[in-house]
């Protein structure tokens, strides 16, 4: 059984082909610069040289066709024809309150995704375009939606309702939803294994730190709070997003700079965060390098980001009471030892003891590591996330009729014998 996972952004389409019988990735890649011009595909097959091809992709359907052609290519492909693909899994950023888990896409499901696309205007529209494009190119296979928001639907009302007119929630769905759900699910299940416990016995803080950043408080195995909100703009400092700010600032700056709502939204989402502070960078490697050379704004960006990380750890410790583990994941979480070290400084009084040598040595996206001291009451893990594996297992379970809520469903990676390939 071959499962194709698609993650469609506004100008890119990521893909992965997974052989379920062998439990391994047989190919993965990305089509970049879709719609914007000068597009190309980068295609990776284990044991082979990476293949790159320039190909104009004026829309997502052409991009999906390019992926199919590459996967079936005699020279670079891994399947003889697309009949070998049993299903397609689609990442959908926002499912609103309608979806608490992954779902088979039919007309009603697609319509429901479209209904909430204004809640994630940067993400859901390209997700929808990807679904429609893939269904057009592959009309005879099941298509399944995997929602970023689904994992967080266990939050209690006091976590997700904002102190705003309640009718805004009733009429327009204004509430906290949270994102990166598949990542938080995966690493929390792996952390439970590393702790030698069942998920329902674990209280964990998961910290997904990449260009987008979100944190999650997981109590007895389920999400009870998360940093992103109605949209992915709320929460931590991110690559280009501001995260938590005084909500009066946008109106203030709209008056000062005569900006429209669309313009201020663009600044908050695309020109703020680390980029806004430094004026040049989003990649934390560049920020750290420039800070080490004496760039004061880059150092300030690091200080602000790590201070906010520390604040979320403290907040979620208060929410959870007993804390078993903290997990760092995603690009910066997995590779940025400097960020992890600074965020965990002076937290020994909370039972969090960092082993600095272990932390510096943990700079890989392929291996799970413990970076706390042996006597640390709270364990600190670096766990490379694998959202695509969550996609795949949800898809297979839906096809086989065995899918259930994640606390009743046993993923392969939640078993002690699991080995990441």
Instruction: In whole angstroms, give the CA distance from residue 413 to residue 398.
Output: 17
List all residues 6 or more positions away from 22 whose beta carbon is below 8 Å from its beta carbon.
none
Q: What is the pLDDT of residue 167?
A: 97
Assess whether pLDDT exceeds 80 at residue 122.
no
Q: What is the pLDDT of residue 17?
A: 92
Q: What is the pLDDT of residue 133?
A: 83
Contact 235, 228 (CB under 8 A): yes
Domain range annotation of the chain: 2-147, 199-382
Q: Averaged over 21-25, what is the pLDDT?
A: 86
Q: Averaged over 71-81, what is the pLDDT?
A: 87
CA dihedral 202, 208, 209, 211 (to 10 degrees): -170
Q: What is the pLDDT of residue 125?
A: 83
The DSSP result for 190-207, as a single string, is HHHHHHTS-GGG-EEEEE
Q: What is the pLDDT of residue 137?
A: 81
Going by the DSSP 8-state scheme, the letter that residue 376 receives in this structure is -
CATH 3.30.420.40 fits 199-382, yes or no: yes
Q: On the CB side of 45, how many CA atoms lie within 13 Å of its CA?
A: 13
* Assigned token pair, 65: 């066709």
* Assigned token pair, 396: 């297979």
Q: H or E segment at 13? A: strand 12-19
Instruction: In whole angstroms, give the CA distance from residue 50 to residue 42.
Output: 7
Q: Which CATH number fits domain 2-147: 3.40.190.10, 3.30.420.40, 3.40.50.10320, 3.30.1360.120?
A: 3.30.420.40
Q: What is the pLDDT of residue 350?
A: 96
* Angstrom distances, CA of residue 217 to CA of 66, 151, 227, 345: 40, 12, 9, 20
Q: Averaged over 315-322, what is the pLDDT?
A: 96
pLDDT band at 75 (very low <50, low <70, confident <90, very high): confident
* Sheet with strand 379-382: strands edge to edge: 222-226, 213-219, 203-209, 325-329, 379-382, 369-370
pLDDT band at 36 (very low <50, low <70, confident <90, very high): confident
pLDDT band at 237 (very low <50, low <70, confident <90, very high): very high
pLDDT in tens, 205-219: 999 998 889 999 999
Q: 199-382: same fold as 2-147?
A: yes
* Assigned token pair, 384: 């490379």
Average pLDDT, the chain: 92
- SS3 state at 64: helix
Q: H or E segment at 215? A: strand 213-219
Cα-to-chain-centroid distance, residue 214: 8
Q: What is the pLDDT of residue 118?
A: 79
Q: Averaged over 314-320, what is the pLDDT?
A: 97
Q: What is the pLDDT of residue 59?
A: 82
Q: Residue 43 forms beta bridges with which residues?
A: 29, 51
Instruction: In whole angstroms, give the CA distance from residue 76 to residue 73.
Output: 5
pLDDT band at 388 (very low <50, low <70, confident <90, very high): confident
Annotated active-site positions, please? 148
pLDDT band at 79 (very low <50, low <70, confident <90, very high): confident
Assess whether pLDDT exceeds 80 at residue 397.
yes
Assess whether pLDDT exceeds 80 at residue 71.
yes
Instruction: In whole angstroms, give the CA distance from residue 69 to residue 81.
Output: 9
Q: What is the pLDDT of residue 76?
A: 87
Instruction: In whole angstroms, give the CA distance from residue 186 to residue 204.
Output: 12
* Angstrom distances, CA of residue 407 to CA of 80, 200, 337, 341, 414: 38, 8, 32, 32, 11
pLDDT in tens, 127-154: 888 888 888 888 889 999 999 999 999 9
């Amino acid at each position: 059984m071959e499962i194709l996972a698609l993650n469609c952004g506004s100008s890119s389409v990521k893909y992965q082909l997974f052989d379920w019988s062998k439990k391994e990735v047989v190919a993965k890649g990305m089509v970049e610069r879709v719609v914007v011009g000068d597009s190309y595909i980068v295609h990776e097959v284990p044991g082979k040289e990476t293949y790159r091809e320039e190909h104009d992709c004026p829309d997502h359907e052409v991009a999906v066709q390019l992926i199919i052609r590459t996967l079936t290519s005699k020279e670079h492909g891994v399947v003889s024809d697309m009949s070998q693909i049993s299903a397609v899994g689609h990442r959908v950023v926002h499912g609103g309150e309608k979806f608490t888990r992954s779902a088979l896409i039919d007309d009603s499901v697609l319509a429901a995704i479209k209904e909430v696309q204004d809640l994630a205007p940067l993400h859901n529209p390209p997700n929808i375009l990807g679904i429609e494009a893939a269904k057009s190119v592959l009309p005879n296979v099941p298509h399944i939606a995997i929602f970023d928001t689904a994992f967080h639907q266990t939050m209690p009302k006091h976590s997700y309702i904002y102190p705003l007119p309640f009718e805004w929630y009733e009429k327009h769905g204004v509430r906290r939803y949270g994102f990166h759900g598949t990542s938080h699910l995966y690493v929390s299940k792996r952390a439970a294994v590393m702790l030698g416990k069942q998920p329902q016995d674990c209280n964990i803080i998961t910290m997904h730190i990449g260009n987008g950043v979100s944190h999650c408080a997981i109590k007895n195995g389920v999400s009870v709070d998360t940093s992103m909100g109605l949209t992915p703009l709320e929460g931590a400092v991110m690559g280009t997003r501001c995260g938590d700010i005084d909500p009066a600032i946008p109106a203030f700056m709209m008056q000062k700079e005569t900006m429209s709502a669309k313009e201020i939204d663009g600044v908050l989402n695309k020109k703020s965060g680390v980029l806004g502070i430094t004026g040049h960078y989003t990649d934390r490697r560049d920020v750290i390098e420039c800070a080490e050379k004496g760039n004061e704004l880059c150092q300030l960006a690091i200080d602000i980001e790590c201070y906010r990380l520390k604040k979320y750890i403290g907040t979620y410790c208060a929410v959870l009471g007993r804390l078993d583990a903290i997990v760092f994941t995603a690009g910066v979480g997995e590779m940025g030892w400097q960020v992890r070290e600074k965020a965990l400084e002076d937290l020994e009084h909370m039972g969090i003891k960092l082993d600095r040598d272990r932390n510096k040595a943990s700079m890989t996206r392929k291996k799970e590591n413990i970076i706390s001291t042996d006597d640390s009451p709270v364990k600190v893990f670096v766990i490379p996330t694998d959202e695509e594996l969550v996609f795949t297992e949800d898809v297979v379970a839906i096809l086989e009729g065995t899918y259930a809520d994640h606390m009743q469903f046993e993923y392969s990676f939640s078993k002690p014998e699991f080995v990441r390939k």
